[in-house]
Chain A
């Protein structure tokens, strides 16, 4: 597609359940980021994939969070045993080669009851 696609756009889940959030970046974008944005707040870095290099996981808040990127394109962010404080919008962004510009998806809004 022309832009970054994220799914689901909205997810409501019960505390303790696992969730998977998907990001389909723009074709050719070698770098992919996941951010978390709580209501009215800024962007919290979670994880960064760059080509075939080991991902930068330094922003993941706990071991309940993990992400993978298959074949250098689609990425999945998994949150295990969700907690209410995980409720936020999860944003995915891609970046082309030799540029600092990120292109964001519309986000996945997660609500943990």
Chain B
């Protein structure tokens, strides 16, 4: 079946550092989504990507839909304490198919 590989699994960073995480798939997707989950909450959508090569920003967050349609990355610039949480990527092969989820990247900011 289709799989998503999300890396890294976890990241320990200093406040102010930039963060990068990515997802790769074994097949082509036509939608990539990035979510963040805070403790005790459901995931919240950060950025949605619908076209190969698309680069979209949301404040300090930037995500790109890879040109091969098999990968996507999420960058966070100048991290702050409230960025901690688990970030999930999700992809959709076509509009009639359910989302396929990465295993998540846990972001921890060192005090």
A contacts, CB < 8 Å to B: 4, 33, 41-43, 45, 48, 56, 91, 93, 98-107
B interface, by DSSP: helix, strand, loop or mixed? loop
Cβ–Cβ contact B40 & A100, under 8 A: no
User: Do most interface residues of chain A lie in helix, strand or loop, or is the interface mixed?
Assistant: loop
* B41 pairs with A106, CB closer than 8 A: yes
* Contact across chains for B103 and A42 when beta carbons are under 8 A apart: yes
A104–B38 CA distance with the chains assembled, in angstroms = 12
Question: Chain B's nearest CB lies how many Å from the CB of A104?
Answer: 3
- Residue of B31, B41, B103 with most chain A CB atoms under a 10 A cut-off: B41
Inter-chain contacts of A4 with B (CB < 8 A): 42
Q: Is the CB of A106 within 8 A of B92?
A: no
The verdict on A93 contacting B42 (CB below 8 Å), with A42-B88, A100-B31 known, is yes
- Can you list 9 pairs linking A and B with CB atoms under 8 Å apart? A42-B103, A43-B43, A93-B42, A99-B48, A100-B31, A100-B90, A102-B43, A103-B45, A107-B41
